[in-house]
Chain A
Amino acid sequence: MQTSDVIKRDGQRPTETFDQAKLHASVLAACLSVRTPEGEALQIADKVCEVVMKWCETKPEITSADLRRKAAEALENHHPEASYLYKHHRLVM
């Protein structure tokens, strides 16, 4: 399985290799911030990561916006509130 490279948003920072742990942590943080129990938050983060990883399989390069959008889409099915926060975290925080 190939690893996707993530092109950062502003084009200034260097491209990174896709880091599943980083995605998992960000989804987990979004879930916890809307008071989701930790066990449930972990389960949701696992499922979201699975969906995003599958989507990345055929894409050698993606943007960080792609990653955020896909994760938010997957999160929407499990926790709409956390998904909203995840999608708009720059505006909300």
Chain B
Amino acid sequence: MAKKPTFDYDLIVIGSGAGGSAAATIAARAGKRVAVIEASEFGGESPNWGDVPRQALLHAAQLYDEAKHAARFGLRSAMMGYNYPSLHAWKDQTIRRTGAGGNRRYYENEGISAFNSPAHFLSPHEVSVARRHLSAEHFLIATGSHIEAPNIQGLEQVKYLTPRKLLAATRLPKSLFVIGGGSVGVELAQLMAIFGTKVYIAEIASRLLPHEDEEAGTLLERSLKEQKGITPLTQTRVLSVIKDGIGKRITFNRGGTEKTVHVEEVLVATGRVPTVDIGLENASVAYTPKGIEVNEYLQTTARHIYAAGDVLGHGSPTHTALLESRVAAHNILHPKSRTSPDYTATPRLVFTMPGIASVGLSEDDCLKRDLHINKAVAPLSIIARSNTADFRDGFVKIITDKKGVIIGSTVVSPHASEIIHELALAVKHQLTAQQLADTPHAFLSWSEAVRVAAAKLS
């Protein structure tokens, strides 16, 4: 009988973010010899420079904004102010408290070997890490993604900001031009505007948040413009960025007209590309510039190598990367009962004020698939909570199929990221609008809008 080849590890995970950490922990707890290789900061993007610090600052900003506008409730808030270095300290504290940022010791305590250096495949079963060669029976590639500056004349020559650099900056720019009106772009635009920065936000599509429900994008655009003084520039192509004194001069084309604006800083919040420069060719792993190709079990073209998270190129949020990481670990540990990730009820969130959350199919998706649907919208203004909170901009939209089964929903509301989980449960377990409408929803909760929308469809 042929001798089974021996490897240094059972599993090597490349990347310690959400796509890698869960799999490494699961495999180590199942008694496997596991190594994690991290090129940058342990924990990856989300806790160190992404979701966590952004959300920490957004929370503070939204509190500040609400307080500033609280005179209508009888509160005296004219003297409200902020200290940006203290806000920074708060942000850094939240990163430390997650335990996920810079968590090398966590892996070591779990019996996982941790290496802090870029990995490069030398062959299908071997990687080089700081001139050390490590072999493994299985690999999980979870290298995530990085920002690649769009092809705009002069952009490479000026010092532009990325979301990571903006959150690390110790002072706020007086004016900011945001390139990219996706979720990160609008969150940071709102954050900066609340703290007094004059913000322009350019998006090539006809509305901000082009991947979200049309009404949600339109409502947020209006809210950013009217309440935060942000200048949304939709259908806008940025042509050039030139250094102009201590600031930058941006030339863009909007509706066939060329315009110019002078700002202090430029933020590139678009163009995330998968991080695939790790010698994948040496491991026979097929990939395109859009990401690594995997089958339904998250196996790459080299079947012992799995991939999860942003490196797959579908712009997965942290919770999706975690799901994929768990699925990959399961498939490595239990090859005879492999599973596939179920994305049907994965919520998509935008942490603005009001928040935007969606699950399942959007109206656009249904249109593209030529599905016969019913939909109902409940504006926030018709529920009691909007009266007591004096907040009316928002809605709950529910989409059902012809049988009344809920197939998608969008919520634009305060606490939208909490409300959406009820609808995610409905989508996952194919509940009908009638069942949702029959479920009691507490008086004076924002969730009453869900019941109202469901009742319109039942």
Instruction: Scan A46-71; emit 1 where CB is below 8 A from any B CB, else 0.
Output: 00000000010011111101100100
Interface size on A, residues (CB 8 A): 12
CB-based contact B282/A66 at 8 Å: yes
CB-based contact B122/A7 at 8 Å: yes
For the complex, give the distance between the alpha carbons of A48 and B117 in Å: 27
**Chain B neighbourhood of A65, CB < 8 A:** 281-282
CB-based contact A61/B122 at 8 Å: yes
Determine chain A's interface SS by DSSP, over half rule: mixed
Q: Tell me which residues from 121 to 165 in chain B have a Cβ below 8 Å from any Cβ of chain A.
A: 122, 128, 130-131
- Which residue in chain B gives the minimum CB-CB distance to A62? B120
**CB of B279 within 8 A of chain A?**
yes
- Which residue in chain B gives the minimum CB-CB distance to A60? B131
Min distance, Cβ A15 to any Cβ of chain B, angstroms: 9
For the complex, give the distance between the alpha carbons of A66 and B280 in Å: 10
**Chain B neighbourhood of A76, CB < 8 A:** none
**Chain B neighbourhood of A59, CB < 8 A:** 118, 120
CB-based contact A63/B118 at 8 Å: no
CB-based contact A60/B281 at 8 Å: no
CB-based contact A60/B128 at 8 Å: yes
**Chain B neighbourhood of A60, CB < 8 A:** 117, 128, 130-131
CB-based contact A61/B131 at 8 Å: yes
Min distance, Cβ A74 to any Cβ of chain B, angstroms: 14
CB-based contact B131/A69 at 8 Å: no
Min distance, Cβ A39 to any Cβ of chain B, angstroms: 28
Min distance, Cβ B306 to any Cβ of chain A, angstroms: 22
**Chain A neighbourhood of B117, CB < 8 A:** 60
Instruction: Scan B270-296; emit 1 where CB is below 8 A from any A CB, else 0.
Output: 000000010101100000000000000
**Chain A neighbourhood of B279, CB < 8 A:** 62-63, 66
**Chain A neighbourhood of B128, CB < 8 A:** 7, 60-61
For the complex, give the distance between the alpha carbons of A43 and B65 in Å: 58
CB-based contact A63/B131 at 8 Å: no
- Which residue in chain B gives the minimum CB-CB distance to A58? B118
Determine chain B's interface SS by DSSP, over half rule: loop
- Which residue in chain A gives the minimum CB-CB distance to B133? A61
Min distance, Cβ A10 to any Cβ of chain B, angstroms: 11
**Chain B neighbourhood of A63, CB < 8 A:** 122, 279, 282
**Chain B neighbourhood of A69, CB < 8 A:** 281
For the complex, give the distance between the alpha carbons of A55 and B279 in Å: 12
**Chain B neighbourhood of A55, CB < 8 A:** 277
Min distance, Cβ B29 to any Cβ of chain A, angstroms: 32
- Which residue in chain A gives the minimum CB-CB distance to B282? A63
- Which residue in chain B gives the minimum CB-CB distance to A59? B120
CB-based contact B120/A61 at 8 Å: yes
Which of B130, B131, B281 meets A66, CB within 8 Å? B281
Min distance, Cβ A89 to any Cβ of chain B, angstroms: 17
**Chain A neighbourhood of B118, CB < 8 A:** 58-59
**Chain B neighbourhood of A61, CB < 8 A:** 120, 122, 128, 131
- Which residue in chain A gives the minimum CB-CB distance to B277? A55
Min distance, Cβ B131 to any Cβ of chain A, angstroms: 5
For the complex, give the distance between the alpha carbons of A69 and B121 in Å: 14
Min distance, Cβ B38 to any Cβ of chain A, angstroms: 14
**Chain A neighbourhood of B277, CB < 8 A:** 55
Q: Tell me which residues from 67 to 120 in chain B have a Cβ below 8 Å from any Cβ of chain A.
A: 117-118, 120
**27 residue pairs bridging A and B, Cβ less than 8 Å apart:** A5-B131, A7-B122, A7-B128, A55-B277, A58-B118, A59-B118, A59-B120, A60-B117, A60-B128, A60-B130, A60-B131, A61-B120, A61-B122, A61-B128, A61-B131, A62-B120, A62-B279, A63-B122, A63-B279, A63-B282, A65-B281, A65-B282, A66-B120, A66-B279, A66-B281, A66-B282, A69-B281
Further contacts, 15 of them, CB under 8 A, given A59-B118, A60-B131, A61-B120: A7-B128, A55-B277, A58-B118, A59-B120, A60-B117, A61-B128, A62-B279, A63-B122, A63-B279, A63-B282, A65-B281, A65-B282, A66-B120, A66-B282, A69-B281
Hey, which bits of chain B sit against chain A, CB under 8 A?
117-118, 120, 122, 128, 130-131, 277, 279, 281-282
User: Which 7 residue pairs across A and B have the least CB separation, nearest first?
Assistant: A61-B128, A60-B131, A63-B282, A61-B131, A59-B120, A63-B122, A7-B122
